[in-house]
Amino acid sequence: MAFVIENLRLKELAIVAEQNRPAFEYFVQFVQAAGYPSLQAFVLESDEAKAGAVILSFLRTPLPKGVVLYDGIARPYAPEKAKWLLLGWIFRDAPEQRLRPMVASMPGRNTVEKQAYLLNQLRAFAGEIFPEASRWEWTAVSEVVIDRLEGSRRAIKGTLFEAIVRRNLEKIFATQKVKLEIGKTEIRLGGETYDVSVVGSKGQILIPVKTRETMGGGHALLFTRDIHKSIAVAHESGFDCLPVIIAESWAGDLTTLSCKDHVYINMNPNQIIEVEPLLAIELERRLPAFQSIM
């Protein structure tokens, strides 16, 4: 049997996409209740006013209990945002990245009417490009959903582990009754941003959090340079630094880092459930370092 490297990212995204299937099916039922035999028939509707009224009605109708749309790490979207995103995805577009800036310039008395107008234009456009029935079944739409979830996941991952580090530090300090504060605002130094910092009466420790999903390649070198730069800038500015690195099979030389200590977890950051408890243990082991600035 050939050796196959499991793509955890794709596997997790596919699972989340499938969790979004009931939301898609609810919309199909909604257009069927409006008199269309299928989603394809609705997309190909030539009467723009009629189709627009259906979209507006959908946006105004509360989602039934249990119908939820999830983001790239399986967190539920707020219902109003969920409906906007769902239709944007179904009509093959990117609601947050491309469409959101357009909404304000659309005709309509309020945001929902403007969204409905824009989505209706997308419906007609997508119908011209993809008239086939198979394009409007879940199998095809799920590919778009996975792609959009991946974009969502990348955006979230930029701040996800900073939030996890922050949450675990707060828990550790509270449990150990340590009088230290977690910085409430990000710190910008020399082009670098530090979202997590620990503040005491004798100083401040910056905690750059760096994650990398893939192994090897030219990007690994850039990842290593990014870590070294982040630490160097902190030290040049007079701050202590505790880098947190979460990367699978990263070949960077940790001994050359210009800091007294670091946290390195040799795992794929997509494995959030497995990574967080290990991260909590490693952070608690650094408690004496944090106490040194009290």
Least confident range of 31-40, 68-77, 158-167: 158-167
Distance, in Å, from the CA atom of 142 to the CA atom of 145, rounded to the nearest integer, reads 5
Give pLDDT tens digits for 273-287.
789 999 999 999 999
Average pLDDT over residues 220-238: 84
- Structural domain ending residue among the three candidates 151, 167, 188: 151
For residues 139 and 180, membership in a common domain is answered with: no
**Same-domain check for residues 146 and 239:** no
Sign (positive/negative) of CA torsion 190, 192, 193, 197? negative
pLDDT at residue 183 tops 70: yes
- Does the residue 171 lie in any domain? no
Same domain, 141 and 212: no
Choosing from 118, 151, 184, the residue where a domain stops is: 151
Nearest to 27 by CA among 149, 140, 138: 138
Helix (H, G, I), strand (E, B) or coil at 207: coil
Question: How far is Cα 66 from Cα 14, in angstroms, rounded to an integer?
Answer: 20
- Name the pLDDT band for 55 (thresholds 50, 70, 90): very high
Q: How many domains does the chain have?
A: 2
110 and 212 assigned to the same domain: no
Same domain, 39 and 133: yes
Q: Please, which pLDDT band fits residue 7 given cuts at 50, 70 and 90?
A: low
Residue 143 sits in the same domain as residue 183: no
**Domain contains 247:** yes
Domain membership of residue 286 as a residue range: 176-291
Q: How far is CA 275 from the centre of its chain?
A: 17
Q: Are 280 and 209 contained in the same domain?
A: yes
Which candidate, 69, 73, 74, places its Cα nearest to that of 95? 69
At residue 196's C-alpha, the angle toward residues 194 and 200, to 5°, is: 115
Judge whether 168 lies within some domain.
Answer: no
157 lies in some domain: no
Q: What is the total residue count of the chain? A: 294
Work out the pLDDT band at 218, boundaries 50, 70, 90.
very low
* pLDDT given for residue 42 in this prediction: 99
Report residue 215's pLDDT band, with 50, 70 and 90 as the boundaries.
Answer: low
Displacement of CA 210 from its chain's centroid (Å): 15
Q: Is 135 contained in some domain?
A: yes
Residue 147 shares a structural domain with residue 182: no
pTM for the whole structure? 0.62
Summarize the confidence of residues 38-56 as an average pLDDT: 98
Name the residue with higher pLDDT: 26 or 14: 26
Alpha helices of 65-137 — where are they, by DSSP H? 79-90, 100-103, 111-129
Does one domain contain both 140 and 218? Answer: no
Considering the domain architecture, whether residues 144 and 16 belong to the same structural domain is answered as yes
Domain membership flag for residue 113: yes
Residue-wise pLDDT for 57-107, tens only, equals 999 999 999 999 999 878 889 999 999 999 999 999 999 889 999 999 999
Shared-domain flag, residues 18 and 146:
yes
Residues of the chain with pLDDT > 90, as a percent, come to 65
Residue 108 shares a structural domain with residue 199: no
